Amino acid sequence: MKVQSNLNTAQYQNHINNMKANEEQQKKASKELTTGKKVNTAADDAVAMSISEQLMKEAKSLTTGSSNISYGIDAANIADGALSNISDSLGDIEQNSVRAMNGLYSESDRAILQEANEQTVATINQTINQASYNGKNLLDGTTGDININTGTASATITETDAKAAMADLENFDVSGNPDEISTEALDSAYSSVSSMRSQIGAETNGLSAAYDVNNNTAENLTAAQAAKEDAEFNESVTKMKSSGVVGAAQNMTMKNQMESQENLVNKLFQA
C-alpha cells in the first residue's frame, strides 16, 4: 500500500506566503521594466512619489514660464527693430534738414526737402502703428506695461510711447529761412528713441537671463525627479531574474518536501 502525504498546514501556508511575496516582487520588477519607473504607485514609495510629483510640478511651472519669457523676448525684439527703423528714418530727416540749412538752396529746393521729411514722418507713424505682438501695440502708448510671468516671479516690459515722442516732428519745418531752422524737435526725438532702445535692451537682457535660469533649474529639477522615480534597468532585470530563480527553487523545495514525507510514511507502513 502506498500513502500520499501533504505538508503540514503551517509549512504549506509558509510556502504559499513566500511564493506570493516572490510573485509580487516579480510583478514589480516587470512593471519597472515596462514603465521605466521604480515608483509607479504610492504603495511603491509614498514619500518618493510625493517628492517626485512636487519636483515635476515645479519643473513644469518653470518650463511654462520659459515659454512666457520667450514671448516677451520676441515682443521686445519687435519693438527694438521698429525703433531701429525709426532711428534710421530720423537720420534721413536730419540729412534733409542739414541740406535745407545751406543758403545756396532755393525755396523750391527746401520745399522738396520738407515734403520728403513729411513723408518720412508718415513712415515713422506707420512703423509705430504696425509694431505689435499678438494684437498688442508695442510703441503707441496704448498697451501700458506688460507683465511677464516667469514661473516663479514676474518681469516687466515697460510701456514705450514713441508716438508721443515723435509728435513734435509733425510741425518740424525746413522750408523757411535756412538761418532760422531749429533741430530741437529732431534732437528730442533722437534722444527719446535712444532712451527707449536702452530700456528695451536692458529688459531683453533681463528676460534672457531669466530664461536661462529657468531652463537650468527645470533641467536640474527634472534630473532630481528622475532620480526619485526612474528605475535602474540593470537592477530591475536582476530582480526579475532573481525572483524567477527563487520561485523555481520554492516550487522545487515544496515538491521535494512533499515527496520526502510520502516516502517516509510509505516506509513506516511497509515496515
User: Of 260 and 64, which is predicted with more confidence?
Assistant: 64
Q: What is the pLDDT of residue 51?
A: 78
Q: What is the pLDDT of residue 82?
A: 97
Residue 83, Cα to own-chain centre: how many angstroms?
A: 28
In whole angstroms, how far apart are CA 196 and each of 105, 155, 163, 177?
35, 17, 12, 33
Given a contact cutoff of 8 angstroms between Cβ atoms, the answer to whether 77 and 204 are in contact is yes
User: Of 39 and 241, which is predicted with more confidence?
Assistant: 39
Please, which pLDDT band fits residue 139 given cuts at 50, 70 and 90? very high
Instruction: Count CB atoms within 10 A of the CB of residue 236.
Output: 20
DSSP secondary-structure letter at 151?
S
Average pLDDT over residues 157-173: 95
Strands 154-157 and 146-149: antiparallel
Q: What is the pLDDT of residue 196?
A: 97
Please, which pLDDT band fits residue 4 given cuts at 50, 70 and 90? very low
**Cβ contacts of residue 67 below 8 Å, gap of 6+?**
none
Q: What is the pLDDT of residue 188?
A: 96
- What does pLDDT average to over the chain? 81
Say if residue 10 is exposed, middle or buried (CB neighbours under 10 Å; 0-12, 13-18, 19+). exposed
Average the pLDDT over each of 135-144, 175-184, 214-223, 259-268 and give the range with the smallest value: 259-268
Average pLDDT over residues 196-202: 97
Q: How many residues does the chain have?
A: 271
Give me the torsion for CA of 159, 163, 166, 167, rounded to 10°: -130
Q: What is the pLDDT of residue 200?
A: 97
Q: What is the pLDDT of residue 110?
A: 96
Average pLDDT over residues 33-37: 60
Domains of the chain, each with CATH number or no CATH: 47-228 (1.20.1330.10)
DSSP secondary-structure letter at 41?
S
Q: What are phi and psi of 137, to 5 degrees?
A: -70, 135
3-state class (DSSP) for residue 45: coil
Query: pLDDT at residue 83 above 90?
Result: yes
Q: Which three cell numbers stand for residue 233?
A: 534597468
Q: What is the pLDDT of residue 3?
A: 46
Query: pLDDT at residue 53 above 70?
Result: yes
Q: What are phi and psi of 133, to 5 degrees?
A: -140, 120
Q: What are phi and psi of 205, to 5 degrees?
A: -65, -40
Q: What is the pLDDT of residue 25?
A: 59
Given a contact cutoff of 8 angstroms between Cβ atoms, the answer to whether 230 and 38 are in contact is yes
- For 87-130, the pLDDT digits (tens) are 999 999 999 999 999 999 999 999 999 999 999 999 999 999 99
Rounded to 5°, angle at Cα 249 from 263 and 231: 165
Share of the chain above pLDDT 70, in %: 65
Say if residue 232 is exposed, middle or buried (CB neighbours under 10 Å; 0-12, 13-18, 19+). exposed
Query: pLDDT at residue 35 above 70?
Result: no
Q: What is the pLDDT of residue 197?
A: 97
